[in-house]
C-alpha cells in the first residue's frame, strides 16, 4: 500500500544526506514502526511521503499513486499527523474538523458519524466549540488526529502520535491502529516509545544517519542481533552505526 | 544586581534578535532588518522636521513672553501621553505574554530582580522614543536657552520622561491581569488595547487639529486659563511640570532645584511601581499559560447540526478570513489599514468642509463637473491612484504565506491544488480590499453622481488595480516568505514584503498620476490606458502567482 524506493534527500548545499537511498514497504494489514535516534531521518522521510518535501531521487507510491506525478490522488489516500500539533490555533475545534472534511471531500453524514465517534473516543466532544489555541498539548494532538482520520484514509502516517496523549487516549489510538490494519489497511508511525513499537507493530524499520539499518519483523530482528528487547537492539545498532 | 543584569541581557537579546534579524526561508538575511529600520528612520525624518519647525517657532515666542515653561511642559506632557499609550501596547508582551517567567521562576533569583529586569527591558524601548522627542526639543530650544544649561536639562529630562508614563501603564496592566480574567488572553488584550488605541488616536488627532489651528496668543490664553486637562496632566506627569520650570529657569539654583524635584518624582514613581509589582505581578503572571478550552460545551446534537460541508474553495477562503480576523496583529496591520484609511481621510476633511473655512477646497469641490471630458479623465486617474494606494496598504496577501509560519507545510499535504489554495488566499485579500473600496467609493459616487458609463469604467479600473496588486503581493510573499518566527507580529510587522507592497502601490499610483497629467486627457483614452494596462499587469501577476508561484510553493521547505 505504501512503497518507498531508493529515496534520497539532501538539504541545501549540505554534502551529508539526510536520507540516503532508503527502501521501505508497508503492505496491507501491517503496522510499521519507524524508529531511530533524533535527527536520523524519520521526519524527513515522512515529509517526503506526504509531499511536503520533494526527494532528490527515488519514488514514493501511496495506494498505487505516485506522490510526485499524481499528488492529489496520493494525498487523498493518506491521513497525516505531523510531529507538532500546534496548528490552526485560531480555529475552533469544530471549524478545523469541518475544514479538513471539506478539503478531503467528506460527506456530511460521514463527517457527523466520524466526529461524534472520535469525539467520544478521545473525550473531545465537549471541547469542540473552543479555539484550538485554548487546548492543552494533548488535546491539540487529539484534534489533529481526528482531522487526519476524518476521511477514513487507507494509509495512516503518524509522526510520534502518542506524544502528549493521556493513557486512555493513547490506548484508544493504539487499538484504532490495530483495527485499521486488521481491516486491510496500513499504518506507518514513528515513535521513541520502543515498548509500544514492540507490542504493536508487525514490522520495524530502524533508521540511523539517513539509512535503513533494519527493516523486517521484530522476531527476525531479535534473532539477527541475538537480543531479547528492542531497546537493547536499538542501543547496539545506534552505538555502532 | 549581576543576576538582574544577566536577565536584562538575555531578554534584550531575544527581543532585539527578533527585531533586527530577518530570516528569509531558512537563511538569515543580515541586511533586511537594518534596512527596515533604516526606512523607519528615513520615514520619521519628515515628521521630526515638522515637529521641530513648529516647536522652534512656538518656543521663540513663548520665551519672549516669559512663558517658556508652559510650552515645554505641554510638549513633554504630549510626549508622556504618547509613551503611555505605546507602553500599554508593548509592556504586556514583555511582562506577561513572553512566557519566560515560568522558566525563570525556578532559578535562584529574587522576585525583585525579575521585576527590575523586566522593567529595564520595557524602558529600553520607551527611551528610544524619549530620545527622539527630547532630541527634537533640544534642537528647537537652541537659541532660546544656553547650550550648557540645555544639555544638562535635556539629559535629565530624557532620563525621567518615560518613567511615570511607564509606571502608570504597567500598574494598570498589572491590575487588569490580576483581576480581569478575560483580558489574560493575549489576543483579547491586543484587540481591546488596539481598538482603544485607535480610538484614542482619532481623539488625539481631532484634538491636535484644534490645537494646531490656534495661534501662539490663543494657545497662551488657553494654557494661562489652566484648563482642567492641562492641570490634570501637570499633576499626573509631575516630572514634566518641574522639567518645564527647570528649562526656563533664569538662574542655576532654580534650574537645579526644579531638576531635583523632577528626579525626585521619578523615584517616587519607581517606588510605586516596585511596591505594586511585588503585590500584583506574580499573582497575575503565574498560570497565564495554563490552557482552558473555552466556548460553550458541545453535545452530540450540536455535532449533528454543526458538521456541515461546503466547497473546497469557499471553505479555504472562510478559513483564511477567520484566521485573519482573529489574529489581532494581522487584523490591525493588514485589514484595519484599508478600512481605517478612509476614516482618517474623512476626519481630515470634515472640519474643512463643515466649517467652510478653506474656501479653496470648497470652490474646487463645487467646480467638479464630471460631464466635462478633462474632468472625467482626471476622475478615472484619481480612481486608479486611490485603488492602487488602498490595495498597496492592504498587505493581506503580502503576508499570507509568512503568517502560516512553520505550519506552511500543511498547504503541501492537503489534497488541494496549489493554485486553488493561492487563489483562496488572494480571494481573502480581495474581499477586504473590496469592502474598503466600497467604503470609499460609495460616498464619492453619491457626492459627485458620475454618469453611469464613467462609474462603470471606474469600477473596472479599480477592480483590475486591486487584483493586480493583490496577486503581486502574494508573489512577493511566495518569493521571500518569512516563515521562521516565534511571535506572529514578526511575520506581519518585520516583513520586507509589506514595505515592497506599500511602496509598490504608491509607486504605481505615482506612475498613473504622471501618465494622467501628461497623456490621459480624455475619458476614453484614460479608460483604455488604465483598464488595458491594468488587465495586462493583472495577467502578469496571475501568471507569476499561479504558474511560477505554485512551483515556488512546491519547492519551499
ipTM confidence score: 0.92
**A32-46, B46-60, B265-279, B304-318: lowest mean pLDDT where?**
B46-60
- For residue A113, pLDDT over 70 is answered with yes
Q: Which residue has the cell 492543552?
A: A136
Decide if A102 and B291 are in contact by the 8 Å CB cutoff: no
% of residues, chain A, pLDDT over 70: 99
Q: Which residues of B207-218 are buried (b: 16+ CB within 10 A; e: fewer)?
A: eeeeeeeeebee
Decide if B312 and A92 are in contact by the 8 Å CB cutoff: no
Which helix or strand (DSSP H or E) is residue A62 part of? strand A57-62
Confidence of residue B351 (pLDDT cuts 50, 70, 90): low
Confidence of residue B347 (pLDDT cuts 50, 70, 90): low
The cell for B240 is: 514634566
The cell for B553 is: 510553493
Residue-wise pLDDT for B148-188, tens only, equals: 777 888 888 888 989 999 999 999 999 988 888 777 777 77
CA dihedral B52, B53, B58, B59 (to 10 degrees): 50
A contacts of B409 (beta carbons < 8 Å) = 47, 52, 82
Query: Can you give the pLDDT at residue B225?
Result: 66
Query: What is the residue-wise DSSP string for B358-406?
Result: -HHHHHHHHH--TTSHHHHHHHHHHHHHHHHHHHHH--TGGGTTGGGGG
Decide if B309 and A104 are in contact by the 8 Å CB cutoff: no
Which helix or strand (DSSP H or E) is residue B211 part of? helix B186-212
Task: Give the mean model confidence (pLDDT) for residues A178-200.
Answer: 92
- For residue B19, pLDDT over 60 is answered with no
The cell for B308 is: 456541515
Which helix or strand (DSSP H or E) is residue A216 part of? strand A211-216
Measure the CA–CA gap between B10 and B18, rounded to whole angstroms. 12
Task: Give the mean model confidence (pLDDT) for residues B24-39.
Answer: 61
The cell for B107 is: 532559578
Q: Label the pairing between strands A57-62 and A65-66.
A: antiparallel
Helices (H), B487-522: 488-493, 496-518
Helices (H), B227-358: 228-236, 238-248, 252-285, 300-306, 312-326, 328-330, 336-355
Cα–Cα–Cα angle for B209, B210, B216, rounded to 5 degrees: 105
Which helix or strand (DSSP H or E) is residue B550 part of? helix B550-555
B contacts of A76 (beta carbons < 8 Å) = 415
> Å from A42 to nearest chain B CA?
16
Confidence of residue B515 (pLDDT cuts 50, 70, 90): confident
A contacts of B550 (beta carbons < 8 Å) = none
Count of positions (residues) in chain B: 557
A contacts of B295 (beta carbons < 8 Å) = 92, 127, 129-131, 134
- Name A199's Cβ contacts closer than 8 Å, sequence gap at least 6: none
Helices (H), B66-185: 68-95, 101-104, 111-141, 147-160, 163-179
The cell for B370 is: 464630471
Task: Give the mean model confidence (pLDDT) for residues A96-119.
Answer: 94
Confidence of residue B297 (pLDDT cuts 50, 70, 90): confident
| CA distances for B253 relative to A20, B65, B216, B257, B529, angstroms | 80, 22, 29, 6, 72
> Å from A111 to nearest chain B CA?
6
Measure the CA–CA gap between B422 and B427, rounded to whole angstroms. 9
Phi, psi of B361 (to 5 degrees): -65, -40
Residue-wise pLDDT for B132-158, tens only, equals: 888 888 888 877 777 777 788 888 888
Confidence of residue B22 (pLDDT cuts 50, 70, 90): very low
- For residue A237, pLDDT over 50 is answered with yes
Confidence of residue B209 (pLDDT cuts 50, 70, 90): low
Measure the CA–CA gap between B478 and B36, rounded to whole angstroms. 19
Phi, psi of B522 (to 5 degrees): -125, 155
What's the whole-number average pLDDT of chain A? 91
- For residue B96, pLDDT over 60 is answered with yes
Confidence of residue B372 (pLDDT cuts 50, 70, 90): confident
Query: Can you give the pLDDT at residue B340?
Result: 73
Confidence of residue B63 (pLDDT cuts 50, 70, 90): confident
Question: Do residues B269 and B163 touch, judged by C-beta distance below 8 A?
Answer: yes
Query: Can you give the pLDDT at residue B33?
Result: 64
Decide if B309 and A112 are in contact by the 8 Å CB cutoff: no
Decide if B293 and A82 are in contact by the 8 Å CB cutoff: no
% of residues, chain B, pLDDT over 70: 87
Residue-wise pLDDT for B431-448, tens only, equals: 999 998 888 888 888 888
Count of positions (residues) in chain A: 241
**β partners of residue B434:** none
Query: Can you give the pLDDT at residue B86?
Result: 85
What's the whole-number average pLDDT of chain B? 83
In angstroms, what is the C-alpha Rg of chain B? 27
The cell for B199 is: 480610538
CA B85 to chain CA centroid, nearest Å: 12
Task: Give the mean model confidence (pLDDT) for residues B265-279.
Answer: 92
Measure the CA–CA gap between A238 and B310, rounded to whole angstroms. 49
Measure the CA–CA gap between B389 and B512, rounded to whole angstroms. 11
Phi, psi of B200 (to 5 degrees): -65, -35
Residue-wise pLDDT for A128-156, tens only, equals: 999 998 898 999 999 999 999 999 999 99
Measure the CA–CA gap between B21 and A149, rounded to whole angstroms. 39
- For residue A33, pLDDT over 90 is answered with yes
B contacts of A82 (beta carbons < 8 Å) = 409-410
Instruction: Work out the burial of residue B513: count CB atoms within 10 Å of its CB; fewer than 13 is exposed, 13-18 middle, 19 or more buried.
Output: middle
Question: Do residues B80 and B204 touch, judged by C-beta distance below 8 A?
Answer: no
For testing the chain B interface, which of A99, A119, A135 should be mutated: the one with the most B CBs within 10 Å? A99
Query: Can you give the pLDDT at residue A69?
Result: 93
A contacts of B308 (beta carbons < 8 Å) = 98, 108
Query: What is the residue-wise DSSP string for A13-52?
Result: T-SS-SEEEEEEEE-TTEEEEEE--TTSSHHHHHHHHTTS
Decide if B414 and A103 are in contact by the 8 Å CB cutoff: yes
Amino acid at each position: 500500500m505504501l512503497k518507498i524506493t531508493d529515496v534520497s534527500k539532501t538539504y541545501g548545499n549540505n554534502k551529508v544526506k539526510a536520507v540516503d537511498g532508503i527502501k521501505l514497504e508497508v503492505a496491507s494489514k501491517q503496522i510499521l514502526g519507524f524508529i531511530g535516534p533524533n535527527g536520523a531521518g524519520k521526519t524527513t522521510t515522512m515529509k517526503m511521503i506526504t509531499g511536503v518535501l520533494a526527494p532528490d531521487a527515488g519514488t514514493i507510491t501511496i495506494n498505487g499513486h505516485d506522490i510526485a506525478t499524481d499528488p492529489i490522488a496520493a494525498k487523498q489516500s493518506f491521513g497525516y499527523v505531523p510531529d507538532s500539533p500546534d496548528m490552526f490555533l485560531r480555529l475552533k475545534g469544530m471549524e478545523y474538523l469541518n475544514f479538513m472534511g471539506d478539503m478531503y471531500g467528506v460527506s456530511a453524514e460521514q463527517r457527523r458519524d466520524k466526529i461524534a465517534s472520535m469525539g467520544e473516543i478521545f473525550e473531545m466532544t465537549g471541547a469542540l466549540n473552543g479555539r484550538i489555541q485554548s487546548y492543552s498539548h494533548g488535546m491539540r494532538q487529539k484534534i489533529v488526529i481526528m482531522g487526519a482520520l476524518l476521511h477514513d484514509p487507507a494509509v495512516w502516517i503518524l509522526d510520534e502520535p502518542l506524544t502528549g496523549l493521556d493513557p486512555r487516549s493513547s490506548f484508544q489510538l493504539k487499538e484504532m491502529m490495530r483495527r485499521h490494519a486488521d481491516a486491510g489497511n496500513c499504518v506507518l508511525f514513528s515513535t521513541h516509545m520502543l515498548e509500544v513499537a514492540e507490542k504493536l507493530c508487525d514490522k520495524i524499520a530502524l533508521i540511523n544517519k539517513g539509512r535503513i539499518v533494519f527493516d523486517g519483523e521484530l522476531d527476525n530482528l531479535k534473532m539477527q542481533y541475538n537480543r531479547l528487547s528492542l531497546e537493547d537492539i536499538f542501543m547496539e545498532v545506534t552505538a555502532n552505526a | 544586581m549581576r543576576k538582574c543584569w544577566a536577565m536584562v541581557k538575555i531578554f534584550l537579546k531575544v527581543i532585539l534578535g527578533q527585531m533586527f534579524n530577518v530570516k528569509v526561508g531558512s537563511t538569515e538575511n543580515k541586511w533586511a532588518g537594518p534596512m527596515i529600520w533604516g526606512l523607519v528612520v528615513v520615514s520619521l525624518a519628515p515628521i521630526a522636521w515638522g515637529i521641530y519647525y513648529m516647536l522652534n517657532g512656538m518656543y521663540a515666542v513663548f520665551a519672549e513672553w516669559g512663558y517658556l515653561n508652559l510650552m515645554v511642559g505641554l510638549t513633554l506632557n504630549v510626549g508622556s501621553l504618547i509613551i503611555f499609550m505605546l507602553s500599554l501596547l508593548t509592556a504586556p508582551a514583555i511582562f506577561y505574554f513572553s512566557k519566560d517567567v515560568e522558566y525563570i521562576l525556578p532559578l535562584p533569583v529574587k522576585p525583585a530582580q525579575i521585576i527590575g529586569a523586566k522593567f529595564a527591558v520595557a524602558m529600553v524601548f520607551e527611551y528610544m522614543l524619549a530620545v527622539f522627542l527630547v532630541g527634537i526639543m533640544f534642537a528647537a530650544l537652541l537659541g532660546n536657552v544656553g547650550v550648557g544649561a540645555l544639555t544638562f536639562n535635556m539629559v535629565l529630562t530624557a532620563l525621567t520622561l518615560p518613567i511615570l508614563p511607564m509606571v502608570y501603564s504597567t500598574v494598570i496592566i498589572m491590575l487588569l491581569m490580576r483581576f480581569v480574567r478575560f483580558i489574560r488572553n493575549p489576543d483579547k488584550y491586543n484587540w481591546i488595547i488596539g481598538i482603544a488605541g485607535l480610538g484614542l488616536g482619532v481623539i488625539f488627532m481631532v484634538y491636535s487639529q484644534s490645537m494646531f489651528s490656534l495661534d501662539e496668543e490663543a494657545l497662551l490664553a488657553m494654557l494661562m486659563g489652566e484648563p482642567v486637562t492641562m492641570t490634570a496632566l501637570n499633576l499626573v506627569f509631575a516630572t514634566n511640570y518641574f522639567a518645564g520650570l527647570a528649562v526656563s529657569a533664569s538662574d542655576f539654583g532654580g534650574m537645579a532645584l526644579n531638576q531635583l524635584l523632577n528626579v525626585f518624582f521619578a523615584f517616587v514613581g519607581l517606588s510605586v511601581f516596585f511596591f505594586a509589582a511585588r503585590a500584583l505581578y506574580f499573582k497575575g503572571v503565574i498560570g497565564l499559560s495554563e490552557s482552558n478550552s473555552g466556548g460553550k460545551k458541545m453535545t452530540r446534537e450540536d455535532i449533528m447540526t454543526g458538521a456541515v460541508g461546503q466547497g473546497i474553495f469557499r471553505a479555504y477562503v472562510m478559513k483564511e478570513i477567520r484566521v485573519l480576523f482573529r489574529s489581532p496583529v494581522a487584523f490591525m496591520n493588514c485589514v484595519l489599514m484599508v478600512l481605517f484609511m478612509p476614516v482618517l481621510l474623512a476626519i481630515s476633511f470634515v472640519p474643512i468642509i463643515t466649517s467652510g473655512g478653506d474656501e479653496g477646497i470648497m470652490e474646487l469641490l463645487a467646480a467638479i463637473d464630471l460631464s466635462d471630458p478633462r474632468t472625467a479623465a482626471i476622475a478615472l486617474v484619481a480612481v486608479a491612484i486611490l485603488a492602487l494606494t488602498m490595495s498597496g496598504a492592504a498587505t493581506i496577501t503580502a503576508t499570507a504565506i509568512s503568517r502560516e509560519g512553520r505550519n506552511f507545510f500543511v498547504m503541501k499535504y492537503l489534497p488541494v491544488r496549489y493554485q486553488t489554495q493561492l487563489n483562496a488566499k488572494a480571494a481573502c485579500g480581495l474581499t477586504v480590499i473590496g469592502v474598503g473600496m466600497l467604503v470609499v467609493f460609495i460616498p464619492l459616487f453619491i457626492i459627485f453622481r458620475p454618469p453611469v458609463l464613467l462609474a462603470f469604467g471606474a469600477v473596472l479600473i479599480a477592480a483590475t488595480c486591486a487584483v493586480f496588486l493583490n496577486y503581486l503581493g502574494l508573489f512577493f510573499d511566495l518569493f521571500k516568505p518569512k516563515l521562521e518566527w516565534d511571535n506572529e507580529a514578526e511575520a506581519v510587522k518585520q516583513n520586507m514584503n509589506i514595505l515592497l507592497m506599500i511602496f509598490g502601490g504608491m509607486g504605481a499610483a505615482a506612475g498613473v498620476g504622471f501618465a494622467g497629467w501628461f497623456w490621459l486627457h480624455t475619458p476614453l483614452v484614460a479608460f483604455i490606458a488604465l483598464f488595458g494596462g491594468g488587465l495586462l499587469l493583472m495577467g502578469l501577476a496571475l501568471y507569476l502567482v499561479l504558474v511560477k508561484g505554485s512551483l515556488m510553493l512546491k519547492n519551499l521547505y
